[in-house]
């Protein structure tokens, strides 16, 4: 049935007309497609629910998810064959008499990376154009130009999504732009973003940062990948949350960064290539914008001439307003650039080695001059190489070690760890595979509230002194598969409210006096299959509200707690 659709003055008039039209169709089955419905227009869908009709279905396409109306289906990027077919259709190649070499459409489609909107827009813009225009477009892209630089219609369409965020949720817009700081095709750990956003925007609770990622995902501006196997939500464990982003959206984020002049940019990404920083327009000017709080220094594709040492031309970089500094490198030995010691306002330092083995870090003592440094994240770094430096970071609150070589790094340093980090509140150790025994020195960090040691499969013992951490509120020992027992001093952790020993399947028993942890509220012991009995003191865990375990372990709890207090 065909009908002429009139022009509407507003959405209310359109809805009334559609309701009348649907009623007039009688019993004829109908599929109604509502295309590109924006967030905030849910009332339109609610109006159709009021009709109480059963002979039609509604298909809604949107950039946003509408969870109240059912689970969304996220469209994937096109495979090569479908992408090529769409491009041929959009560029009307079948109807053209002029010859277009086969390699040109192939290169264009590959550059669009399966993004249907980009394929369609680019195809239409090239339709009927001389071959030289096609060749010019491919040549510009091969030299690093963005597709968005040449396709204004595509840019306007994507930009509209950001403009909507700019009006309603400006912080989330900035969070989106930050994703462009990372190399393409990289799976970005959510834990890195948590550190960046805490110090850039004052988002001081991890859960708020994760909520922002879910918001970006719901707006189709990023993909959130969660690899954790259990459903123990809200426990603050986000090491298995990752963010991916289509290259076209990354290019959109980079364009937002580069709209302002260098001196006024809030974010700056620097690619080191020999002595030439890519952002510099005037080679005599090696100063960075004074208003940039977030600096991303990427040397991951640069093998320095002097084994990781920066050229002297980099020593005079000025970063007076930098609050976050991200350094990426790909060398066996790495020397921190000397300008680091001048970053008086720096609050977060993130060092990532992309080498196959943990990198030796030279002159780490430069960070000792940073009075406001609150967070450090080290990835694939040799801890013994930095522990030999006498440092004292009184402002440091959080340190994260990912895939680092720890060895005896905390035990052989020139300064005691409690002197180096006297006010440390949170320590995360993840995938540090040479960690056999947790260093006893860590138990002297009496201000520590969160201690997380995860996926360290060779860890077999915790120090008896762990009971000295009297302010500890969270202890996570997730996936430490060789850990066979917990020290009896754990009973002294009177403030501990969350204990996670999931996937510690070598643990055979819990400490006899575990009931002394009078504040324990949540216990995750999933995949602790070798545990065959519980100590009688668990009955003293009066604050315990939630236990996550398997069916076999659940049986052990039934004599102590009603089944409604146990969640599996």
Each residue's pLDDT tens digit, 388-397: 778 899 999 9
pLDDT of residue 2: 52
532, 507 in Cβ contact below 8 A? Answer: no
Residue 382 within any structural domain of the chain: no
Q: Are residues 190 and 126 in the same domain?
A: no
User: Please, which pLDDT band fits residue 312 given cuts at 50, 70 and 90?
Assistant: very low
For residues 259 and 92, give the distance between their C-alpha atoms in angstroms, rounded to a whole number: 34
Q: Are residues 32 and 134 in the same domain?
A: no
Residue 109 within any structural domain of the chain: yes
Residue 548 within any structural domain of the chain: yes
H or E segment and range at residue 419: helix 417-420
For residues 118 and 112, give the distance between their C-alpha atoms in angstroms, rounded to a whole number: 6
Q: Are residues 136 and 173 in the same domain?
A: no
Indicate the pTM of the whole model.
0.85
Residue 340 within any structural domain of the chain: no
Q: Are residues 160 and 138 in the same domain?
A: no
Tokens of 71: 């689970």
User: Please, which pLDDT band fits residue 333 given cuts at 50, 70 and 90?
Assistant: confident
pLDDT of residue 323: 87
For residues 242 and 221, give the distance between their C-alpha atoms in angstroms, rounded to a whole number: 14
Percentage of the residues of the chain whose pLDDT score is greater than 90: 46
Most confident of 279-283, 353-357, 375-379, 439-443: 375-379
User: Residue 351: what are its φ and ψ, rounded to 5°?
Assistant: -115, 125
For residues 15 and 21, give the distance between their C-alpha atoms in angstroms, rounded to a whole number: 10
Report CA dihedral (439, 440, 446, 451) to the nearest 10 degrees: 40
CATH number of the domain that residue 236 is part of: 1.10.10.10
H-state helical runs in 411-531: 417-420
39, 68 in Cβ contact below 8 A? Answer: no
Residue 360 within any structural domain of the chain: no
CATH number of the domain that residue 540 is part of: 3.80.10.10
363, 335 in Cβ contact below 8 A? Answer: yes
For residues 139 and 143, give the distance between their C-alpha atoms in angstroms, rounded to a whole number: 7
> Number of structural domains, the chain?
4
* 524: three-class secondary structure by DSSP: strand
Residue recorded with tokens 């597709």:
147
Q: Are residues 24 and 85 in the same domain?
A: no
Spatial neighbors of 282 by CB under 8 A, at least 6 apart, are: none
Q: What is the mean pLDDT of the chain?
A: 83
pLDDT of residue 540: 92
Residue 215 within any structural domain of the chain: yes
User: Please, which pLDDT band fits residue 469 given cuts at 50, 70 and 90?
Assistant: very high
Lowest mean pLDDT among 68-72, 150-154, 324-328, 369-373: 68-72
* 418: three-class secondary structure by DSSP: helix
Each residue's pLDDT tens digit, 382-441: 888 777 778 899 999 999 999 999 876 676 666 788 899 999 999 999 999 899 999 899
pLDDT of 138 higher than 90: yes
Q: At what angle do helices 103-112 and 116-126 cross, to 10 degrees?
A: 140
The residue-averaged pLDDT of 147-172 equals 88
Q: Are residues 129 and 215 in the same domain?
A: no
362, 335 in Cβ contact below 8 A? Answer: yes
Q: Are residues 90 and 130 in the same domain?
A: yes
pLDDT of residue 303: 29
Q: Are strands 267-273 and 276-277 parallel, antiparallel or unpaired?
A: antiparallel
pLDDT of residue 512: 93
pLDDT of 567 higher than 60: no
pLDDT of residue 42: 77
Q: Are residues 227 and 125 in the same domain?
A: no
For 124-174, what is the HEC assignment?
A: HHHCCCCHHHHHHHHHHHHCCCCHHHHCHHHHHHHHHHHHHHHHHCHHHHH
426-451 per-residue burial string, b: 16 or more CB within 10 A, e: under 16? bbbbbbbeebeebbbbbbbbebbbbb
Percentage of the residues of the chain whose pLDDT score is greater than 70: 83
User: Residue 47: what are its φ and ψ, rounded to 5°?
Assistant: -65, -35
pLDDT of 307 higher than 60: no
Residue 394 within any structural domain of the chain: no
* 342: three-class secondary structure by DSSP: helix
426, 206 in Cβ contact below 8 A? Answer: no
Going 519 to 525 to 530 to 536, the CA torsion angle's sign is positive
Lowest mean pLDDT among 241-245, 312-316, 322-326, 412-416: 312-316
For residues 42 and 38, give the distance between their C-alpha atoms in angstroms, rounded to a whole number: 8
Maximum CA extent, the chain: 85
For residues 511 and 541, give the distance between their C-alpha atoms in angstroms, rounded to a whole number: 13
Query: Which structural domain range is residue 211 located in?
Result: 153-249
User: Residue 505: what are its φ and ψ, rounded to 5°?
Assistant: -80, 5
Last residue of a domain, one of 145, 165, 187: 145
pLDDT of residue 262: 66
93, 128 in Cβ contact below 8 A? Answer: no
Residue 558 within any structural domain of the chain: yes
338, 308 in Cβ contact below 8 A? Answer: no
Each residue's pLDDT tens digit, 536-563: 999 999 999 989 888 888 888 888 876 4
Last residue of a domain, one of 249, 265, 285: 249
378, 401 in Cβ contact below 8 A? Answer: yes
pLDDT of residue 309: 47
Last residue of a domain, one of 198, 216, 249: 249
């Amino acid at each position: 049935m065909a009908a002429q659709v009139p022009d509407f003055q507003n959405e209310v008039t359109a809805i009334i007309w559609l309701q009348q039209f649907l009623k007039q169709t009688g019993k004829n089955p109908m599929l109604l497609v509502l295309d590109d419905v924006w967030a905030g227009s849910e009332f339109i869908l609610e109006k159709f629910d009021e009709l109480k009709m059963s002979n039609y279905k509604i298909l809604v396409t949107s950039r946003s998810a509408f969870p109240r109306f059912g689970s969304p289906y996220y469209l994937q990027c096109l495979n090569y064959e479908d992408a090529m077919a769409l491009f041929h259709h959009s560029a009307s190649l079948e109807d053209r008499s002029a010859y277009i070499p086969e390699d040109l459409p192939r290169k264009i489609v590959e550059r669009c990376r399966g993004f249907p909107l980009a394929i369609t827009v680019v195809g239409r813009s090239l339709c009927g154009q001389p071959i030289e225009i096609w060749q010019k477009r491919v040549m510009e892209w091969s030299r690093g130009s963005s597709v968005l630089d040449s396709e204004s219609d595509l840019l306007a369409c994507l930009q509209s999504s950001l403009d909507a965020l700019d009006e309603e949720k400006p912080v989330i817009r900035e969070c989106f732009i930050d994703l462009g700081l990372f190399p393409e095709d990289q799976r970005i750990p959510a834990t890195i973003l948590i550190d960046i956003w805490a110090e850039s925007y004052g988002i001081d609770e991890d859960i708020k940062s994760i909520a922002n990622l879910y918001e970006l995902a719901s707006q189709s501006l990023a993909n959130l990948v969660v690899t954790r196997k259990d459903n123990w939500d809200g426990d603050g464990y986000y090491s298995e949350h990752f963010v991916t982003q289509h290259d076209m959206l990354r290019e959109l984020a980079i364009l937002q960064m580069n709209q302002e002049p260098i001196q006024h940019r809030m974010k700056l990404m620097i690619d080191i290539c020999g002595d030439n920083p890519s952002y510099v327009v005037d080679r005599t000017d090696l100063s960075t914008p004074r208003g940039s709080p977030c600096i991303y220094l990427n040397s991951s594709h640069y093998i320095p001439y002097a084994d990781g040492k920066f050229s002297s031309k980099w020593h005079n970089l000025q970063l007076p307003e930098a609050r976050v500094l991200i350094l990426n490198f790909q060398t066996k030995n790495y020397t921190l650039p000397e300008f680091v010691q001048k970053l008086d306002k720096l609050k977060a330092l993130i060092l990532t080695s992309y080498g196959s083995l943990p990198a030796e870090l030279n002159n780490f003592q430069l960070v000792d001059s940073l009075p406001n440094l609150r967070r450090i994240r080290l990835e694939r770094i040799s801890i013994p190489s930095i522990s030999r430096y006498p440092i004292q970071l009184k402002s440091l609150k959080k340190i994260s070690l990912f895939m680092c070589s720890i060895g005896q790094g905390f035990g052989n340093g020139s300064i005691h760890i409690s002197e180096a980090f006297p006010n440390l509140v949170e320590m995360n150790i993840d995938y540090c595979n040479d960690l056999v025994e947790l260093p006893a020195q860590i138990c002297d960090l009496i201000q520590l509230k969160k201690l997380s040691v995860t996926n360290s499969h060779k860890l077999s013992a915790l120090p008896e002194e762990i009971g000295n951490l009297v302010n500890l509120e969270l202890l996570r020992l997730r996936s430490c598969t060789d850990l066979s027992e917990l020290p009896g001093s754990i009973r002294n952790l009177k403030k501990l409210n969350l204990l996670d020993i999931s996937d510690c399947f070598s643990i055979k028993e819990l400490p006899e006096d575990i009931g002394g942890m009078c504040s324990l509220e949540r216990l995750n012991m999933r995949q602790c299959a070798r545990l065959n009995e519980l100590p009688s003191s668990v009955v003293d865990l009066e604050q315990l509200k939630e236990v996550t375990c398997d069916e076999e372990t659940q049986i052990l709890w039934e004599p102590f707690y009603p089944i409604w207090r146990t969640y599996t």
